[in-house]
Amino acid sequence: MNESEFSAHYDPTKFERPSVAVDVVLLSIDLTDSLCAVLVRRKEHPDKGAWALPGGFVRIDESLDAAAARILNEKAKLRRVFLEQLYTFGAVHRDPRTRVITVAHYALVDFRRLAASYAHVSDDLVVARLDVPWSGEAGGAVRTLDERAKPLRLAFDHARILGLAVKRIRGKLNYAPIGFELLPEAFTLFELQRVHQAVLGRKLNKDSFRRKILASGLIEPTGAAQTNVGHRPPALYHFLKEQGANHG
Amino acid sequence: MNESEFSAHYDPTKFERPSVAVDVVLLSIDLTDSLCAVLVRRKEHPDKGAWALPGGFVRIDESLDAAAARILNEKAKLRRVFLEQLYTFGAVHRDPRTRVITVAHYALVDFRRLAASYAHVSDDLVVARLDVPWSGEAGGAVRTLDERAKPLRLAFDHARILGLAVKRIRGKLNYAPIGFELLPEAFTLFELQRVHQAVLGRKLNKDSFRRKILASGLIEPTGAAQTNVGHRPPALYHFLKEQGANHG
DNA sequence: GAAATAGTGTCTTTAAGACAGTATGTG
DNA sequence: CACATACTGTCTTAAAGACACTATTTC
């Protein structure tokens, strides 16, 4: 039997198969320096009325990353944002309808970009503040709150997925340049510090933060500075070249 | 429409679905202190005769972790080893037959346990030495070599999966107690150092390694020491309690 | 006692935290 | 000029690398 004969013989319908979906944890830092995520209200059973991560089924002719990018564009009208695979959730009954394995991704975006696209999308989208009940990289579920600090009920296992996304970016922040993904093109060192603080959920030492970031060689002054700030204007910086290589 | 009516109405066959598989990167440190992985010779097309990671399809009634544990038991006769999800590979044509998404896992095991089970499994299994052509956590594919240092051809995208597994454990070694998973119950500090060196692919400073490990509080002297070693016998240590919590 | 590695003590180097003090905008 | 925050320089502290020195087994 040669290879083409084998391919013809192979019968993929022999196995009863799970469905494969992609969910996207779209994270940002709001104007109050809180970590937040985009949620979609479920209009259908199960968990009708609860809030869920933007998601959808993977098409037979698209990669996982392409599916995640498509969902991000369909649900939040965002393109070209930082997007990485997070973890694949495959508990047998995580979706009560049928077996659904979901490849969770996380995305990071500057809040101003999110707010701009937000105006154009449906009312069933919300940017929920995250309440992380653990410190460091302990991990666990997170709570989601609306603008009046009322809890939002999450569908399926999405509280765990959100929690894992927070844990992942907390860990990644220490060795990878991802803070910049949550900021506009030009930013001040203190804005970057506030982003780090929002992600890590704790205050950072200003002096050593400056030293470490400047020593990293990842950013460069633009030459410009902020104006109309009521005090000495901080210098603006921008992130240097990206050298990241993704998987998938 | 209430929830049970909806569930009855939901038709999962509407979508053409990918197959979902699990592959396991089973890693160990051999007697020459080289990082190595278990490979299976493919007996069927495609890539017949090439070497592949142990893998198989996910059953409709088992979780991803359960599938990985089953494969580990079926192919290498190993139970109760450290096993974690690695990454999900979903490129459209990664398998030429049909769309197969694979949830890659990695496992760590003491070489003596592997060698003991190795005797009972088929000749189509090999423990291949890994040749990692990059340093640190740069990432990329790895090469696999047999006992005579001859390259083994890898099937599909398995060289990339192996590379990602190496990258992952290199990163994880710095903050998680995974070195112990590659050692027997009792071990000396220098044995642990050699494991770290094999994983990281570089020499470590003996003094600071001792200090760091002892200060971590993760290990405890057993009270015993090695004997018949031709020099001052090193104290034996054992890993304290596990407090790890998995996902999935 | 020689050989070989285990284990200890101390000096140096490096990075982070603390903090004082200067710089430069807005009002 | 007052105020607020940006930015700089120095001291302290903690951890890692280097290295000298002692300890304990086998042969």
pLDDT for B242 equals: 57
User: A221-230, B7-16, B22-31, B83-92: which range is least confident on average?
Assistant: B7-16
Q: Which residues of A touch B166 (CB under 8 A)?
A: none
Q: Are strands B100-108 and B19-29 parallel, antiparallel or unpaired?
A: parallel
Is A178-247 in the same CATH topology as A12-172? no
Binary contact (B17, A19; C-beta < 8 A): yes
Which position has the higher pLDDT, A244 or A191? A191
What's the gap in Å between the CA of A98 and the closest CA on chain B?
Answer: 7
Q: Which of A207, A236, A232 is nearest to A220 (CA)?
A: A236
With cut-offs at 50, 70 and 90, classify the pLDDT of residue A117.
confident
With cut-offs at 50, 70 and 90, classify the pLDDT of residue B241.
confident
The set of strand D positions with any atom below 7 Å of a protein CB reads 3-10, 15-20, 23-27
Q: Which of B183, B181, B140, B134 is nearest to B162 (CA)?
A: B140
- Write out the CATH class of domain A178-247: mainly alpha
Stated pTM of the model:
0.92
DSSP tag of B243: -
Q: Which of B92, B94, B87, B101 is nearest to B46 (CA)?
A: B94
The whole-number average pLDDT for the span A92-105 is 96
User: A50-59, A147-156, B210-219: which range is least confident on average?
Assistant: B210-219
For B12-172, the fitting CATH number among 3.40.50.300, 3.40.50.2000, 2.170.120.12, 3.90.79.10 is 3.90.79.10
Binary contact (A46, B1; C-beta < 8 A): no
With cut-offs at 50, 70 and 90, classify the pLDDT of residue A1.
very low
Domain boundaries, given as residue ranges, for chain B: 12-172, 178-247
Distance CA B127, CA B105 (A): 17
Distance A216 CA to C8 C1' (A): 36
Distance A110 CA to C23 C1' (A): 31
With cut-offs at 50, 70 and 90, classify the pLDDT of residue B1.
very low
Smallest Cβ–Cβ distance between A60 and the set B6, B16, B60 belongs to: B16
Q: Give tens-digit pLDDT for B3-32.
A: 444 444 445 555 689 999 999 999 999 999
Distance CA B58, CA A88 (A): 13
Count CA atoms closer than 13 A to B150's CA, side-chain side.
4
Judge whether residue B87 has pLDDT over 60.
yes
Q: Give tens-digit pLDDT for A29-45.
A: 999 999 999 999 999 98
In this structure, the dihedral spanned by the alpha carbons of residues B161, B166, B168 and B169, taken in order and rounded to 10 degrees, is: 140
Amino acid letter for position A186 = A
pLDDT for B14 equals: 58
Judge whether residue A132 has pLDDT over 90.
yes
Closest alpha carbon within chain A to B68: A90
- Beta-strand (E) ranges in B112-218? 125-131, 143-145, 186-187
What's the gap in Å between the CA of B230 and the closest CA on chain A?
Answer: 43
| Pairs across A and B, CB distance < 8 A | 122
pLDDT for A118 equals: 74
Q: What integer best gives the mean pLDDT of chain A?
A: 90
Q: Which residues of A touch B43 (CB under 8 A)?
A: none
Q: Which residues of B touch A12 (CB under 8 A)?
A: 19, 97-98
The set of strand C positions with any atom below 7 Å of a protein CB reads 3-10, 15-20, 23-27
Chain-centroid distance of CA B37 in Å reads 7
Binary contact (B44, A17; C-beta < 8 A): no
Q: Are strands B186-187 and B235-239 parallel, antiparallel or unpaired?
A: antiparallel
